[in-house]
A and B are shown apart, each in its own frame.
Chain A
Amino acid sequence: DAGVTQSPTHLIKTRGQHVTLRCSPISGHKSVSWYQQVLGQGPQFIFQYYEKEERGRGNFPDRFSARQFPNYSSELNVNALLLGDSALYLCASSLVMGEQFFGPGTRLTVL
């Protein structure tokens, strides 16, 4: 079975632009979570979706939004990009609480 997939793998944007990142969970997994990992830090929780509803939100500004589709895939949107948004964005899917499996991530660079 395929693992969690994310696209694109790398992305370069300029300040003020908007970005959409995509994630497909492991088949059968209904929960998707998004994390931001900046260099030298552990991943920071952004959002969790389960059955297309937002179930958790981390301490991120309203410029960050997400949604989950009927097929359980998910998008993370970031508006008005700042230099500090440069990071590895990780998507994780889970079947049961706690055991989350991560995708390879999207590396976003904001210039």
Chain B
Amino acid sequence: RKEVEQDPGPFNVPEGATVAFNCTYSNSASQSFFWYRQDCRKEPKLLMSVYSSGNEDGRFTAQLNRASQYISLLIRDSKLSDSATYLCVVNIRYGGSQGNLIFGKGTKLSVKP
């Protein structure tokens, strides 16, 4: 079983739609959780951290369920500029490390006019 699993998509949605991405992780030692966004041929950029209480940043809402080892991202009122690949990421800290990021394969979103 892969450590972080995501539906690869693509998700093709019209502007203004609401879209939800889901992610599951296998290692219960995972300590912190993130969504990164990656545009084509660019580096990943941190979109938001994910907290157990759930958190919101404008049109983006992230949820974490530690019991189910499940992470979600909701995008409301999709914009053309939201088109990108969304990477689900967990941080697992081993020994003296500061934590290694484990990435899912990413979910591709395409927002159409």
List A residues at the B interface (Cβ < 8 Å): 31, 33, 35, 40-45, 48, 50, 55-56, 58, 90, 92, 94, 97-105
Contacts and interface: CB of A to CB of B under 8 A. Distances in A.
Contact of B97 (A43, A48, A90, A92): A48
Interface in B43-59: 43-46, 49
Interface stretch (B10-18, B67-75, B76-84, B101-109): B101-109
A42 B100 contact: no
Interface of B: 4, 31-32, 34, 42-46, 49, 87, 89, 91, 93-106
Given A55-B96, A56-B94, A100 B43 contact: no
Nearest to A44: B103
Contacts of B32: 97-98
A102 B34 CA distance: 14
